Amino acid sequence: MIAVVQRVKESSVSIEGEIKSAIGQGLMILLGIEEADGPDDIEWLSRKIANMRIFDDEEGVMNKSLLDIEGEALVISQFTLHASTKKGNRPSYIKAAKPDIAIPLYEGFKQQLANDLSKDVGSGEFGADMKVSLINDGPVTIIIDTKDKK
């Protein structure tokens, strides 16, 4: 799994002109899933994101986690994170998991993150044409690949 994690002041996702989910201060997470991903990736990534110290403390040092600030999370499926650009000018998405594998893992990640945060997590809709809006705070943007956990 690959996650692009952005610290935000606010973020929302709209589908066909209607807001599906919106959050205040917290993290907007773009999540890419590949065929080789599984439950271990879900647990590791969720805990990593929930506990990552990227929010400012009282001295302005990034020393607090999403849990510490009781922030919110918005998770958006993003198969294009697995784009291969090695050949030509048209990216290949061959590594991205097909819906029969990706949807259960996406739903599982959202549920695990909700459990780890002890609160609901906002989300888009898998496979939908979504419009994502955000105010990146910092900006702080971090890329996490579960293949790098070992």
Q: Which residues are marked as active site? A: 78-80
SS3 content of the chain, % helix, strand, coil (to 5): 30, 40, 30
Helix H or strand E encompassing 45: helix 39-51
| Closest CA relative to residue 116, chosen from 24, 52, 22 | 52
Residue 99: which residues within 8 A CB-CB, separation 6 or more? 126, 127
